[in-house]
Amino acid sequence: MLAGKIAFVSGGTGYIGTEICRALTRYGAQVIFSYHANEEKARELVEELKSARAVLLNFRDPRQITGTIETLYKEVNRIDILVNNAGVSQVMPFAMLEEEDVDLAIDINMKGTIFLTKAVVRGMIRNRTGVIISMGSIAGERVLAVPIMYAMTKASISGFTYALAPELKKFGIRVNSVVPGLLEGGVAQGVPEDLKAEFMKHCAAGRAGTAQEVAEVVAFLASDRASYINGQNIHVNGGI
C-alpha cells in the first residue's frame, strides 16, 4: 500500500507516534521519525523497525527544524508523507497558567507543526506530490473537561487543514487530519477515572480506542487509496 514511499513522522517515540511508525513500515514505507528527549526509545524503535531512521528535533526551534529538513532532503531527495504527530499536554487549571505554559503549548503544538510542514512542503511542491496528515484531538472538537491550552492548540489543527488543502491542491498535495477520541494510553493516562467513565457512557463504541486503530487510519490516508479524501478532519473516536 505504501511501498517505495518515504514518510516523516514527528514525535515518533510517543504512544501514537510509535504505532504510526510501525503501521507505515508494515505497509512498506521507509520511515524517518523525530524525537526530542527519549533517545533510548528512539534507538529501540529503529532496531525494531530495521529500515527506520531517527532524527533529533527541537520543536521549539524553527531554525533547527528547517535546517534538519533541508539536510534530510539532500540525502533522500523526497518526502512523500508527512505526519505531524508531535505535541504536548499540560494538566493545569486555567487560572494557574503562566506565560511560559502558554508559550510551550503554542510553540510545540502550533508553531512546530507550521514550521515542520513549511520545511517539508517545499520539497513536495518541487516533486508536485505529497500527503500531509496532522494529529488533532477530540479535546479541541467537543465540550470536554480537558487542559485549556491543549484543547486550544489542537483545535487549530482543523483550521490548518481546511486552509492548507486548497492552497496545495495545485501541486498534487493532499492535506488531512486525524482526530482521536479517548485512547487507552498517551495523554489519556492523565484523565481522571470519573471523566473516563463519562466518556464511555456517551461513546457509541463503549470503550477507549487504541493507538493501533488511529495508526491504521493514518496509513490509509497516506496511501493512494485515499486519493479522493482531502481537506478533511477524520474522527476516530468511537462515536461521540
- State the Cα–Cα distance between residues 8 and 1, nearest whole angstrom: 16
Q: What's the full length of the chain, in residues?
A: 240
Tell which phi-psi region holds residue 172, choosing left (phi > 0), alpha (psi between -120 and 50) or beta: left
- In the chain, the N- to C-terminal Cα span, in Å, equals 30
Report the SS3 class of residue 79: coil
Give the three-class secondary structure for 94: helix
SS3 label, residue 156: helix
Q: Which of the residues 15, 27, 35, 150 is marked catalytic?
A: 150
Sheet holding 233-236, edge to edge: 53-56, 30-35, 6-9, 81-84, 130-135, 173-180, 233-236
150 labelled catalytic: yes
For residue 85, the one-letter residue type is N
Considering only CA atoms, which of 118, 120, 111 is closest in space to residue 80?
120
Residue type, position 152, single letter: M
Catalytic positions are 150
